[in-house]
Structure formats: C-alpha cells, structure tokens
C-alpha cells in the first residue's frame, strides 16, 4: 500500500493556509471532481468555511467550477507544478531521449522519480497500439511492483527500503511479488545488473524494463519501456536501448545549470 504524504494535522489545528492546502489535497486521481459538501467533509470544516476556502482558491485559479457545479483542480496548480526543479529540468533533458526510444520501439516510455516511499511519474510517451498502462504524468504509485519503482527502491537509502519491506506488499496480479524476502533478493539483483524487470506485476499483460538515471553518482530517476508480454523475454531486446537512453539523460541533467 502506498503512503499518504498528504496527511496533516486535524482541521481544528490547521492554519488558514493549511486549510487551503487541505482543499487541494482532497482531489485525487480517483476523485478529480468534488462538490462543496465533499470538500467540507474531506477537509473537516463546516460548509460555510469550505465555501470561503473554495472561493479564495477559485479567485486565485487553483480550483475551477464545472458547469454541473462540481470543482476541479485549476490550471494555476499545473503551472506551478511544471516549475518543480526535479520535474522541469529532468523532463527537458529526458524528452529527446524518450522520443528517440519511442520512435525506435513505438512502445510506452515512462520516466519516474521517488518521493518518499512512492514514485511519481514525471513524463510518459504512450504508443497508440501499445499495451495499456496505469501510468499518468503526475500520478503516484507504489514502488515495488513497477520496473521504475524497483530501480528507485534498489538505490534508495536503506531506511526507505526497510520501511517498504516492513509493510504488507499489495498484490495487483497473481505475478506481483508480495514476499519481502524475495523482493529483497530482487533489489540486490537490480543493483548488480543495472536494470529491473517487472513481469506482469501491475497488469497481467504488461512487462517492463527500467534503468537508473544517474547524476554524479546518485540515482535521480528511472526510465522504462512497457510492452505487451507474458515473460521477461518480452523486454530483453529493449535493454540496451533503455540503458543507453538513461545514461544519456543523466549526462544531460548533469550539464544543466
């Protein structure tokens, strides 16, 4: 199960700014549109307070109101998110390599970074006829089942690895690794080999291979290709290309001021 980095103090102890942030935190991938009552309930404030908070966010551009009266995250938040240093410079450096990889393979290409005990996808290129994936830019996912997540977890600080291994590992398919001992061995192999393979661990028809993006000796991201397949053999032809692209991204990021 993924951690919830959005958890904060009870509503009664939140500052005015904290309550505004809590409104934004109420929106999720599963619930992108909320009513005023939804927001009041999720934030833990009276309806009148929710109305005031939402009005402030609407005036700023952080929340927008649909024709049906429900609220969604506004473009102002997207503008700010695009300025995040870990995403902006990395995406600009990575896109040419990702586009080259896509042109050669016409498969799903994705880039992710670690945030605590989760990963966040910062860029992706989706093939029209490629296998379906659960990836979306800005989406958060558990580290263990994905190729990019295995790379990021393998190179994470020891305390992060132990925190993930101490939790119950969620099974997405019958192939998902849920045994901590087996996962520990896989992480060691990822560090040894320099690549990670996720064999149908997220969906039953997708296999991915990922490689680390290293900058000055530190792994800052992971790059992967996801293809339709029923065994690790499906991604073996793509390993050299993914490795080369990941190295290229790392060199470009290192040159970025």
Give the DSSP letter of residue 107: S
Q: Rounded to an integer, what distance in angstroms lies between the CA atom of residue 146 and that of residue 185?
A: 16
For residues 106 and 226, give the distance between their C-alpha atoms in angstroms, rounded to a whole number: 10
User: Which phi and psi angles does 12 have, rounded to 5°?
Assistant: -65, -25
Residue intervals of the chain classified under CATH 1.10.10.10 are 11-81
The CATH superfamily holding the domain 85-255 is GAF domain (3.30.450.40)
The pTM for the full model equals 0.73
Query: What does the pLDDT read at residue 177?
Result: 95
CATH 3.30.450.40 domain range(s) in the chain? 85-255
Q: At what angle do helices 239-255 and 85-105 cross, to 10 degrees?
A: 150
**CA quadruple 143, 146, 150, 152: dihedral positive or negative?**
negative
Q: d(Cα 71, Cα 131) in Å, to the nearest integer?
A: 32
Query: What is residue 3's predicted lDDT score, i.e. its pLDDT?
Result: 45
> How many other C-beta atoms lie within 10 A of the C-beta of residue 138?
13
- Cβ atoms of 55 and 71 within 8 Å: the answer is no
Nearest one of 214, 217, 209, 216 to 239, comparing CA atoms: 209
Render each residue's pLDDT in the chain as its tens digit; 257 residues. Answer: 444 444 554 555 678 888 899 999 898 877 889 999 999 999 999 999 999 999 999 999 889 998 889 999 888 887 676 666 555 578 889 999 999 999 999 999 999 999 999 998 989 998 777 776 767 777 889 999 999 999 999 999 999 999 999 999 999 999 999 999 999 999 999 999 999 999 999 999 999 999 999 999 999 999 999 999 999 999 999 999 999 999 999 999 888 76
C-alpha span between 256 and 61 (Å, rounded)? 31
Beta pairing partners, 32: none
For 152, residues 6+ apart whose C-beta sits below 8 A from its C-beta are 112, 113, 114, 119, 143, 212, 219, 221, 222
Burial tier of 36 (Cβ tally within 10 Å: 0-12, 13-18, 19+): middle
Q: Which fold has domain 11-81?
A: Arc Repressor Mutant, subunit A (1.10.10)
pLDDT of the residue at 15: 83
pLDDT computed for residue 18 by the predictor:
87
Q: At what angle do helices 16-25 and 36-43 cross, to 10 degrees?
A: 120
Cβ burial, residue 106 (10 Å; 0-12/13-18/19+): middle
In the DSSP assignment, the letter for residue 168 is: P
pLDDT at 2: 47
What's the pLDDT at 11?
A: 52
């Amino acid at each position: 199960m993924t951690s919830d980095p959005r958890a904060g103090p009870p509503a009664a102890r939140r500052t005015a700014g904290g309550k505004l942030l809590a409104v934004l935190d109420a929106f999720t991938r599963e619930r992108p549109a909320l009513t005023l009552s939804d927001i009041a309930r999720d934030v833990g404030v009276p309806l009148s307070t929710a109305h005031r908070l939402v009005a402030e966010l609407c005036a700023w551009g952080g929340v927008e109101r649909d024709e049906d009266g429900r609220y969604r995250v506004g473009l102002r938040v997207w503008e700010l998110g695009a300025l995040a240093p870990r995403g902006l410079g990395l995406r600009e450096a990575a896109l040419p390599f990702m586009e080259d990889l896509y042109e050669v393979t016409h498969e799903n290409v994705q880039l992710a970074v670690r945030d605590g005990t989760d990963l966040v996808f910062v860029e992706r290129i989706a093939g029209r006829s490629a296998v379906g994936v659960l990836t979306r830019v800005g989406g958060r996912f558990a580290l263990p089942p994905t190729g990019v997540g295995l790379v990021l977890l393998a190179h994470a600080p020891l305390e992060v690895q132990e925190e993930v291994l101490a939790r119950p590992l969620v099974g997405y398919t019958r192939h998902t690794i849920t045994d901590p001992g087996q996962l520990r061995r896989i992480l060691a192999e990822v560090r040894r080999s320099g690549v990670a393979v996720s064999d149908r661990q997220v969906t039953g028809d997708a296999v991915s291979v990922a490689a680390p993006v290293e900058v000055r000796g530190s792994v800052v991201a992971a790059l992967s290709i996801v293809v339709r397949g029923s065994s690790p053999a499906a991604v073996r032809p793509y390993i050299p290309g993914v490795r080369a692209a990941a190295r290229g991204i790392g060199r470009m990021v290192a040159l970025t001021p």
